[in-house]
Amino acid sequence: MPINQIRIAGIKDGEHRQVFEIKDKFFEAYKESHVKSGRFTVETLFSLKGIDKRLTINIEGDIKDLLCDYCAKKIICPISITLNFILKESNSEIDSIDEIIYIMPNQYQLNLDQLIFEMINLSIPSRISHKNDEQSDGECDVEMLNLLHQYATKNNKDTDHRWEVLKKIK
C-alpha cells in the first residue's frame, strides 16, 4: 500500500505544496471504512517558519458506490473538504486529536494516511440521496422507487385489517 507522506523537517522555511492521488486501493487497508471506492486529489500545503509548523489539507473528489437512501441505487457523491492543522512537538506518543497533530521532536516525515481516511469519511453526507449526485440531475431511479412503493403498499395491505373491510363492501 502506498504511503502518503510529507517532509516536515530538513527543508527550507516557507510553503511546501504536495499533491497526492487517492484511489480505491487506499481504502483496502481500512475495513471499517464506509467509503470503499472513489477518486480524490489531496493537496497539502505545509508552512514552516522556524518552529512554527502548519498544515492545510484540501481533498476534492468523488465518493463512488454510495447507496441512495430513497431508491437504493448507487450514486457518485462529490466532496470538497479543507482542514487546517498546527503541528506540535511532544516527546510522548499521543494520538493526534482535533486540529493539533502531535509530532516527535526528531520527526522529519508525517504520514497523512489516517488524516486522509478520516477527512474523506467525514465528508459523507448524513442523508445520501440522488440530490448529492451530479450525474443524475438529482432524480431518483423512478422504476426502483415504484418497485419499493409497490412492495411497501403490498405489505401494508397484508397487515391492514381495514383493507379486509373494504373488500367486503365491494
Of 39-58, binders to Zn ion (CB under 5 A) are none
Q: Which residues contact 4 (CB under 8 A, 6 or more apart)?
A: 20, 22, 42, 111, 112, 113, 116
Q: Is 68 in the site for Zn ion (CB under 5 A)?
A: yes
Q: Is 71 in the site for Zn ion (CB under 5 A)?
A: yes
Q: Is 130 in the site for Zn ion (CB under 5 A)?
A: yes
Residues 113 and 121: their CA atoms lie apart, in Å, by 12
Kind and range of the H or E run holding 78: strand 74-89
Smallest distance from Zn ion to CB 73, Å: 5
* # chain residues binding Zn ion, by CB under 5 A: 5
Between 77 and 140, name the residue whose CB sits nearer to Zn ion: 140
Nearest alpha carbon to residue 116 among 25, 15, 20: 20
Smallest distance from Zn ion to CB 140, Å: 3
Between 71 and 115, name the residue whose CB sits nearer to Zn ion: 71
Determine contact, residues 38/62, Cβ cutoff 8 Å.
yes
Between 45 and 145, name the residue whose CB sits nearer to Zn ion: 145
Interaction site with Zn ion (CB under 5 A): 68, 70-71, 130, 140
